[in-house]
Amino acid sequence: MSTFKYGDEKITDRDIMVAIPSMAIAIGIIVFPRYLAEKTTASDGWVAVILGGTLAVLITWAVAKLAANFPNQSFLSYSSYLVSKPVAVVMTLLFSFQGILLTAFELAAISDISHQYLFDRTPIEMVSLTFLLVVVYAVSGSRAGLFRLNMMFLPIILITTGLLVFLSIGYIEKDNLLPVFKTDFRGYAQGTLDSALSYTGIGILFFYISLVRHPKKTSGMAAFGMSWAVILYTIIYLTCIAVFGEQSTANIRFPLIELAKSVEVPGGFLERLESVFFVIWIMAIFNTTAMAFDVAVMAINSVFPKVKKLNIIFTLSPIVFFISMIPQKYMEIGKLGDWVGYYGWGMTGTTAIVLWVMYKVKGAKQSGK
Amino acid sequence: MTRGSIFNRLKGKKQGNTSQSPVGKHTGFTNQITKNLDDNLMNVKQMMGDPGDLVVRELTIGGAGTRAAIIYISGITDEDLINNNILKTIQLNKKEFESNQLDEIHKKVIAITDVQKSNNLDDVSFGILNGNTAFYLDGQETVLLIGTTGGESRSIEQPDSETLIRGPRDGFVESIETNIALVRRDIKDPNLRFKQHEVGKRSKQKLVLCYVEGIVNPELVNEVSRRLESIDIDYISDSAYVEQWIEDSFLSPFPQILNTERPDKISSDLIQGKVAIIVDGTPFALVAPLSIGDSLHTMEDYNQRWFSATLLRLLRYLSAFFALFLPGLYIALVSYHPGMIPSTLTYSIAATREGVPFPAAVEAMLMAITFEILHEAGIRLPKVIGQTIGIVGGLVIGEAAVSAGIVSPIMVIVTALTAIATFSVPSYSVAIAFRTLRFGFIIAAAFLGLYGIVIVYIMINIHIVNLKSMGIPYSTPFAPTFTNDWKDLVLRAPITKLTKRPSYLKTMDSQSKDNKPG
């Protein structure tokens, strides 16, 4: 039915460029200033954000470059070629599990935060169930549709967050930023690790680049997209520290939302804007969740090509819902988040290194198509 | 679809001696034109059931007095034309014709340009039903079909559904010939194509697919033609039938094909590289593809200077936002997030809601439904008593409902603002979509507050990104992104900067060359 080439399931470099920050900006953006402020002195955390970000950009570039060497091939197909079929299947399933975990974590976190900021009487299951259903609706649609959603939502998210930073300028106290460079090496190292964990989901590139028709320039675009996220994180971190100071930032559960709470719209039209900002960040979290879930589905589908996509979705969603219900307190949710972060980074890093080494040994196979 | 298929079918039934024809008695005629004039006339009359508006005028030709007849249906023909250019010229002609009388009459006597020959009763009767005049000559197996289509029709007026302050004042009418002429007058390009189709198994209405060859993407034309071929229906009362038959998703609240009464709209869209469908019998022409970005545009945007046009567009986006979200936001704020409203306002809202027995959601639902009823009734009411609606709406619903304590004054303001905002959406079919979705937001806000609103908003977006119009993503040029097209999307760049055709249409013309991959 689709007569125009851009209307089909293929995507462009630019879609990847937008997908990367959409994936990276998630729950992490709301909580990371706290972790970072715990580890570093005054405003020094920005060094850690940049270092962690650089690491993320590098990995993004490496993963994209690797995947782009096998244009229009699925992860399973090129990793089978590089590291033999059984290993590739295990890797794919591990990635799928990461997708499931990430979806569950975002679900748990979003219900927790909405419970705190939006409504405290509505049962938490209701909140996460509706969110999950919408994610399922998005994933059951076309995959290209997900990328279009990123494109629709990312500008809204960036503009709103920029607006928030702009509105906070009046509350900035210079002294909070000083003194500079007083953190010890250990602090920087830990901070870097923590902030790197916030850049979730580079692993999606292993899968999504197979949808790009001409992936030659994709690696650069993906790295560029990741750098947006790094810049955004740096600005947010500096703003939080400048407004609250290091001590309070370290003790606030969701620093970014508190920031939204403290600003005022000129004219007094609306007050306590944190709900509005949070609601808009729900879109960012939604994008991450939908893509994480979609990658999980895509990975499983590549291992079991005969099973229908919808059946996979309907099988996975109860599992996701169940996992998201396990952590009870927000501390446990945070733990789950750390877990998911470590797992994702470990998975992506290891896979990237192993595949790159094998790629250097074996060389590229002629494109399968 | 072949013309005259019913006639063939009826004939087949007759020959098979099954007299149970679905459309009454149709026995006693043959499909062939014979040499005998009386038989021929009898055949035509029998076939049509000898209706009162069928005019059969017999006459003799020349000095030898060869018998002849003209047949037409009064009311759909131009009788002056028949009298002056057929009847009169034949009667005044006293010359004798030698070998081929019919040819001679065709060439020398009948003073009308459009003359066709036929020797088949199906074609003849179809021609007569279309307003042509059939000329029978005794002893001839060929019939002349003379183009005399005419009759009463509405003259060109300003379209009611899309009025502009500045812009051409003409609108389409019910006659397809006039409508095609209106477009032709705008675009004098030999590449302008009108590909004719026929729709309606029984009504046999003309439908033309217009496009400008060399601009439009041929794949688009093929796709639309393919879908038009698939239409299988007896009669279409409006182009809406065509729209609903060929649209991509009938489950969507959004219109996927634009309808308009304005020739200038059609012309400018054709030049952009879209296709238009004009159907006989309706002033509403269709334009495809439609994307979400087009739905808030009007022709007026291009007729005003770019600065004011841009501001007006922004205003329209704002009112679209109100039309969709306002009642939902009100409910969410009042019932779930009262902290967000400035405290003084909260007190006054609380004070006005003092006597109201219902929760905000019920109140909003009541008012929204009342408004929809008023709106619907206002359309159906004759113009003379239309003012009643104003009184009923303004006084009874507004004043009385508030003083009776059923709704709060704030709610009336919210409803009124929403209503006005809905009317500023230029396309009626888009406005209906917004009105429908508004209820979704009201319900979502009633259950989940702001969270519910954003969830429904995300769902609508999911729907939009998966929707297509003639195979083109509905969400373009936002996503898939065509930044070149953003000059004429939310903003309206100066005309001098709008030199390129929309890239999302992938037009053939080099003027809109796009160098993006994929």
Complex ipTM above 0.90? yes
Q: What is the mean pLDDT of residues B285-312?
A: 91
Mean pLDDT calculated for residue range B31-59: 87
B511 pLDDT higher than 80? no
Residue B3: per-residue pLDDT: 47
Residue among A119, A122, A214 minimizing CB distance to B517: A214
User: Contact A273/B341, CB-based, under 8 Å?
Assistant: no
Of A138, A142, A152, Cβ closest to residue B479: A152
Confidence class for position A7, pLDDT limits 50, 70, 90: low
d(CA B92, CA B88): 6
Determine the pLDDT at residue B13.
43
Tokens of B451: 């969270």
pLDDT at B225 over 80: yes
Q: What is the mean pLDDT of residues B330-336?
A: 90
Average pLDDT, chain B: 85
Report the pLDDT value the prediction gives residue B314, as an integer from 0 to 100.
94
Determine the Cα–Cα distance for residues B317 and B430; give it in Å rounded to an integer: 13
Nearest C-alpha of chain B: how many angstroms from A22?
14
**What pLDDT is attached to residue A6?**
55
pLDDT at B510: 54
pLDDT of A369 higher than 60: no
List of residues 6+ apart from B195 with CB closer than 8 A: B208, B209, B210, B211, B221, B225
* Residues from chain B contacting residue A273 (CB–CB below 8 Å): 340
Q: Inter-chain contact B454–A282, Cβ cutoff 8 Å? A: yes
Calculate Rg over the CA atoms of chain A. 20
What integer pLDDT is reported at residue B27 of this predicted model? Answer: 57
A324-368 confidence digits (pLDDT tens):
998 888 788 888 888 888 999 999 999 999 999 998 888 766 544
Q: How many CB atoms lie within 10 A of CB A185?
A: 7
In one-letter notation, the amino acid at residue A38 is E
The pLDDT assigned to B28 comes to: 61
The pLDDT value given to residue A4: 54
User: Which residues have CB under 8 Å from A198's CB, separation 6+?
Assistant: A24, A28, A29, A32, A52, A233, A341
Residue among B222, B470, B517 minimizing CB distance to A12: B517
Local confidence band at A13 (pLDDT 50, 70, 90 cut-offs): confident
Residue-level pLDDT at A265: 78
Cβ distance B479 to A119 less than 8 Å, yes or no, reads: no
pLDDT bin (cut points 50, 70, 90) of residue B99 is: low
pLDDT value at B514 more than 70: no
pLDDT reported for residue A226: 92
The sign of the dihedral angle between the CA atoms of B281, B282, B283, B286 is: negative
What pLDDT is stored for residue B22 in this prediction? 40
Residue B387: is its pLDDT beyond 80? no
In a mutational test of the A interface, the residue from B458, B483, B484 whose CB has the highest number of chain A CBs within 10 Å is: B458
Q: Name the residue among A245, A246, A247, A276 with its Cα closest to residue A260.
A: A276
* Residue A85 pLDDT exceeds 80: yes
Q: What is the CATH number of domain A13-345?
A: 1.20.1740.10
Q: How close B360 comes to chain A (CA, Å)?
A: 17
Most confident of A114-118, B294-298, B434-438, B509-513: B434-438
Summarised one tens digit per residue, pLDDT across range A118-150 is 777 778 888 899 999 999 999 999 888 999 999
pLDDT digit string, tens, across residues A282-317: 999 999 999 999 999 999 999 999 999 999 999 999
Question: CA dihedral defined by B158, B164, B167, B169, rounded to 10 degrees?
Answer: 10
User: Are A270 and B340 a contacting pair at CB < 8 A?
Assistant: yes
More confident of the two residues A182 and A249: A249
The structural domains of chain A, with segments of one domain joined by +, span: 13-345
Please tell me the distance in Å from A235's CA to the nearest CA on chain B: 26
- Among all residues of chain B, which has the CA nearest to that of A15? B480
pLDDT at B512 over 60: no
CA distance A233 to chain B (A): 24
**Per-residue confidence band for A103, with pLDDT thresholds at 50, 70 and 90:** very high
Strand order in the sheet with B143-146: B54-61, B66-73, B133-137, B143-146, B115-118
Looking at A39-43, B80-84, B203-207, which range is the least confident one?
Answer: A39-43
Cβ separation of A141 and B462 shorter than 8 Å?
A: yes
Residue B24 reports pLDDT greater than 80: no
Q: Is the pLDDT of residue A47 over 90?
A: no
Read off the pLDDT of residues B134-172 as tens digits, 9 standing for 90 and up.
999 888 888 999 998 888 888 899 988 888 888 899 999
Q: Give me the mean pLDDT over the A143-172 stretch.
A: 91
